[in-house]
Structure 1
């Protein structure tokens, strides 16, 4: 199912340039949702968007990272996670198929696109316990 959505989205991305989303638009679109992202036709990761701009991210491996997002002075959406103190900033746009995210708004950088969404919480494995 996700693979079909990724192919449909790749086709939709061939459309004209899209306007960047403001922080208010991004918050209204994402809050309460879990979005699955793809990159270059492959599954990439999932993020759950909660109240108060809190997020939970996973590379689809069951390990989740808690974080939060904010808008920086350039109008980009920046994420800070519990294990990554350096902000990761993205520009977001809406296409007919969903969100398109570009890392640091760099045309040569990583681009993610929304493959699918739901309102179900992410599945996260418990803490790793070692000997």
Structure 2
């Protein structure tokens, strides 16, 4: 019977970690630039500034400024070019944070792969004739 219990425990899906609170999230991210992967591929980078301000890029040099706020178990982001909140559940793991997109029925999941205390690269506005 013990063997059956062990087999069932090993086959059970991994238990989700508790969602980070707004205070936990703020303590973890403020002053950092965090790089995220999705399914092992580079996805984006976000710089977390004081006062719940953020700067986001899809690693193409184009940056979007915004802010974040806590909404129940979610951390929601609103960017200057898009007033629709983008809400995520963040979990703190031993190897960094995991972000689960609450607005996505397919549950986009991003993983922290590195962090820095240096600002991210943002290109200036496009110039031309």
TM norm. shorter chain > 0.5: yes
In structure 2, runs of 5+ residues without a counterpart are 1-12
- Runs of 4+ off more than 2 Å: 14-17, 105-108
After superposition, the Cα gap between the structure-2 partners of 1:28 and 1:50, relative to the gap in structure 1 and judged at 3 Å, is same
Instruction: State the Cα deviation string for residues 55-109 of structure 1 (Å, max 9, x = none).
Output: 000000000000000011x331000001111000000001111000000176831
What is the aligned length? 117
Q: Which residue of 2 aligns with 1:20?
A: 19
Q: Which residue of 1 aligns with 2:9?
A: none
Give the alignment's TM-score, normalised by structure 1: 0.84
Higher relative contact order (CA 8 A, sep 6+): 1
Give the alignment's TM-score, normalised by structure 2: 0.85
Displacement after TM superposition at 1:119 (Å): 0.2
In structure 1, runs of 5+ residues without a counterpart are 1-13
From 89, 92, 99, the counterpart of 2:90: 92
